[in-house]
A and B are shown apart, each in its own frame.
Chain A
């Protein structure tokens, strides 16, 4: 029983990582209705930038804020420079460009900063929450930041003019344009925000898994899983989905005999497909009504 509780707690801690990146995934989905395959690598690159700033002697929080600003600017720039010329290209071509960006960020990070793992500081400290607990202060801090982000996003989209305009631009670009919303810039803004949230996620994840160019490779997949379980249209759902994936994966690894440990990932992924069978838009997602 103690093992069960510890595995659930450890699962929640790992789930926090997934929740964090799932939130970033849902964020960009809200803004541009795409899944950005390069999101994890962008987050990793941002984290390296923060690491470099700290290495150069900048205090943690200054580096944190500056990285957010830089990431936001980079996100906007990527949309303006790379995707703007392609806005009439087929959606599949966009996915190929995501793949290209993935490759570029991964390779460039390895080239600039090497592949040796680097420790990244945590603002919350890494001591266990209580004696012998599988959850650390940092894990708890990560929950906190994720929830704060979630609330801020909710307020932003619901109550600010820009937030409303972004939603309008994503849901119905033609009508949005008619009421004077600059749709192109709204999309760019969405990219910027997604990049900044990704940077937060990266800086929270790196203290746990260590910083290296491939650190987001599998986390992104788990993040997708969390986002899908929760529903791509629901930020809160994505966060809950991330936790669910973390816990289920741990329990499967510990309590399914014989194949559980080897096929943790497979079992988690099978769970997702099962959830989608019952609720095709995820647990908390709103159903798309197809209209002709």
Chain B
């Protein structure tokens, strides 16, 4: 049944692709970068420059495909994973994307990282009809199939995360005075936007907004302002370093607001431990992946598999970094797409399969969280679950929440 539907969808997508492009379907069987023994996958990430911390994701994905290849590849084809450095600079991303598409002739570009960098290549990729698959950013604009058929996000978008917090606050703390610490860029503004949207006509609950720049050495001044505003609930829309600073500062000054920290910074080893468990106790967040440093999972089979993978294929990898789990899971999602595509590895069919993931379970996702896409739904992961840090580990509570896709 599913196979039939898949084939049908593939055929429809293929037909559309041909109708739009008007090319002879000579390449329909296999897209560029595909031979009987190999599939070329392109990737762009920051291995140098100020964002080089994210380089871990690309390295994890590379290691994961090494594992796939060692275990026989996908339908007999080995993955040739070509990863380039763009230093997080949009002009360089354009150069590397063109190199991948025009010179290396990859089947698709996977997990290119960053919002500005992906925006820079989005029109090019769509004009060339090359899948820009599972981009590594939570901006909302990656799920617009009607406008950008060839671009798809992966992680839950920041806006729906903001809406989840809003719903939680309205339900549990209807009289809260909210103070928001946020990073002054697209990510911070998207999440804050989602929060405000979710609060609806209660936006007045937000009594203070304190933006910070990534160039700020500390956020002490912002915390002083938030405290002075009389807020009793603080949301940290901040990357790990700043979230850890905020949690610690708030704890140390003896101020005791309800604190929500965004998903980006929920790592136990990478944020809460440096911030101090005593300060982090009671902090709320939402999750969709298992945190490798969370003792909840130490006897979990999927964690053991991940751990074995790290030992064998990425021994230098940072086990306390959530990026390794992220890279592992997103690579598994692509693996699933390629397996579903079978022997029809045209770009059209790969895109059609990416838009046809049904209840796909990523082992390192939180229990109950599944990947679903359709030709009109380009948001693979939309579910998250609220959780509370008990001073030692995260405790999930409440239902798995379905965030709505786009706007």
Contact = CB atoms under 8 A, between A and B. Distances in A.
A218 B216 contact: yes
A265 B215 CA distance: 8
Given A107-B48, A218-B217, A261 B270 contact: no
Interface in B32-65: 48, 50, 52-53, 55-56
A97 interface: no
A250 interface: yes
A5 to B, nearest CB: 10
B21 interface: no
Interface in B210-255: 210-211, 213-218, 220-225, 228, 240-241, 244-245, 248, 252-255
A209 B212 CA distance: 14
Contact of B220 (A13, A115, A132): A13
Contacts of A118: 274
Contacts, number: 114
Contact of B217 (A116, A126, A222, A253): A222
Interface in B253-303: 253-255, 267, 269-271, 273-276
A262 B184 contact: yes
Q: What is the size category of the interface that chain B forms with chain A?
A: 35 or more
B244 A117 contact: yes
A6 interface: yes
Contact of B244 (A115, A127, A210): A210
B318 A134 contact: no
Contact of B245 (A3, A107, A134, A209): A209
Max chain A CB contacts within 10 Å: which of B220, B223, B320? B220
B321 interface: yes
Max chain A CB contacts within 10 Å: which of B48, B53, B275, B321? B53
A116 B270 contact: yes
B294 to A, nearest CB: 15
Given A3-B228, A110-B52, A210-B274, A117 B215 contact: no
B142 to A, nearest CB: 24
A221 interface: yes
Given A110-B52, A208-B218, A210-B241, A116 B321 contact: yes
Given A6-B228, A118-B274, A134 B220 contact: yes
16 contacts: A116-B267, A116-B270, A116-B320, A117-B244, A117-B270, A119-B275, A119-B276, A134-B253, A209-B218, A210-B244, A210-B274, A213-B52, A213-B53, A221-B215, A261-B184, A265-B213
Interface of B: 48, 50, 52-53, 55-56, 184, 210-211, 213-218, 220-225, 228, 240-241, 244-245, 248, 252-255, 267, 269-271, 273-276, 318, 320-321
Given A7-B224, A217-B50, A250-B221, 16 more contacts: A6-B224, A7-B221, A10-B224, A14-B221, A17-B218, A106-B52, A116-B321, A126-B252, A127-B252, A128-B254, A209-B217, A209-B218, A209-B241, A212-B53, A218-B217, A261-B210
